[in-house]
Amino acid sequence: MKIAIIGASGFVGLRLVERLHLTAKAEIVPIVHAYRSLAVLGRFTLPWRVVNPSDPAALSEALKGCDAVVHAALGDAGQIVTMAEALYPAAQAAGVKRIVALSSAAVHTLTPASGTDEATPIIASQKSEYNTAKAKAELLLENARRGGKTELVQLRPSIIYGPRSRLVADIANQILSGTAYLVDDGSGICNAVSVDNLIDAIWLALTTPDADRNTFLVNDRDVVTWRHFYEAIAAGVGTNLDGVKAVQSPEFKESPSEKLARIAATKTVQATLPFVPARMKRLAKAAAAAWTTPGPGRGWTLPEPAGPRVTEEMCQLQSCRWRFPITKAERVLGYAPAHTFQEGMTRTASWLVFVGIARPQRAGTAGRPA
């Protein structure tokens, strides 16, 4: 089978290339959006293609000759939607038999109601632009499938961890720098899925005949809380949770400058910006920057270690009380997560050492003087 992987330089895409290429399970055609994205993919000699995945004609050309396509590309909210718009017509025009698209469990919000499963309607209007875009992309693809011939399977993972996980790296660095935090003592459910289990699910989604027109939530077998998740990462960097702050989820309000930045990023404002004189723009920026909360006089403070930067998204993730079921994936795909949480985290920890985030102490060498 010849499989195109859109977003082959990303976290999931790159691991998928590694797995499928090294196990010789399939012929791989990596697809990336820019030449610079080949820097890590260039480890392999593969017939990569460089195209804008939001351009249906270019994407269709890149997909020619492929039996299936896995869509694992990342992007901002706008790109998530435009890539979904381009994907189905491009794949169909290229004669691709099946699309496997990586959606996200965030289409159910980050704090899903108890009982949420694949039959629960997704929420296409959320506060988070990313979550909204993922939901819209899912609906776009579903709708396209109704009028098309190319088969479609969508997967909804939630917290993907493994080698090259930005989330894991960020948490590891926060733990090491004393800026990590746990909401409600980490008692929330972490819907964790090892990237290797996800790849097994992708393979099943590619190859299971009856999977067409289905969407699947994908998790590890183990039920994991956020405390477990942080403990595993802390162990991976050779420490524990002693320095992790316990926080209660605060009420999130936009600061005036954040509000201005959000308004400035809207399409309407962006469209009118070219007509605003440069001097006006400079004055507005200066006013926004100066709009800060008053504090003590300059210089009259002691140096203090940086505290945690509590974000709304992380608070919501850690407040999750529902574990997404994998019963549908088990029943239809035959999904049976082969990698335990412990195995997945052991592999992830080995990667943290590989990239130098966790570095084994060696005798006779001093660290950076600090």
Residues that bind other proteins (CB under 8 A): 18-19, 21-24, 34-36, 38-46, 48, 50, 162-164, 169, 196, 347-348, 350-351, 353-356, 364-370
The string of DSSP codes covering 223-258 is -EEHHHHHHHHHHHTT--STTPEEEPPPPP---HHH
Which residues make Cβ contacts (< 8 Å) with residue 276, sequence separation at least 6?
none
CB 29 within 8 A of CB 46: yes
CB of 366 to other proteins, least distance (A): 5
Nearer to other proteins, 16 or 141 (CB): 16
Question: What SS3 state is found at 68?
Answer: strand
CB of 104 to other proteins, least distance (A): 23
Quote the CA–CA distance of 284 and 259 in Å, as a whole number. Answer: 13
Distance separating the N- and C-terminal Cα atoms of the chain: 54
CB of 206 to other proteins, least distance (A): 17
Quote the CA–CA distance of 27 and 21 in Å, as a whole number. Answer: 7
Q: String of b and e for 192-209 (b: at least 16 CB within 10 Å)?
A: bbbbbbbbbbbbbbbbbe
Surface-to-core class of residue 90, CB atoms within 10 Å of its CB (0-12 exposed, 13-18 middle, 19+ buried): buried
Nearer to other proteins, 45 or 293 (CB): 45
Q: Looking at residue 108, what DSSP letter applies?
A: G
Lookup: tokens for 325: 């079921």
Nearer to other proteins, 177 or 255 (CB): 177
Q: Looking at residue 265, what DSSP letter applies?
A: T
Nearer to other proteins, 44 or 322 (CB): 44
Nearer to other proteins, 50 or 310 (CB): 50
CB 330 within 8 A of CB 118: no
Q: Looking at residue 213, what DSSP letter applies?
A: T
CB of 347 to other proteins, least distance (A): 4
Q: What are phi and psi of 13, to 5 degrees?
A: -60, -45
Question: What SS3 state is found at 152?
Answer: strand
Quote the CA–CA distance of 243 and 359 in Å, as a whole number. Answer: 19
CB of 7 to other proteins, least distance (A): 15
Nearer to other proteins, 297 or 367 (CB): 367
Nearer to other proteins, 23 or 293 (CB): 23
Nearer to other proteins, 4 or 122 (CB): 4
CB of 333 to other proteins, least distance (A): 20
CB of 214 to other proteins, least distance (A): 27
CB of 356 to other proteins, least distance (A): 6
CB 75 within 8 A of CB 129: no
Nearer to other proteins, 38 or 139 (CB): 38
CB of 86 to other proteins, least distance (A): 22
Lookup: tokens for 162: 């493994």
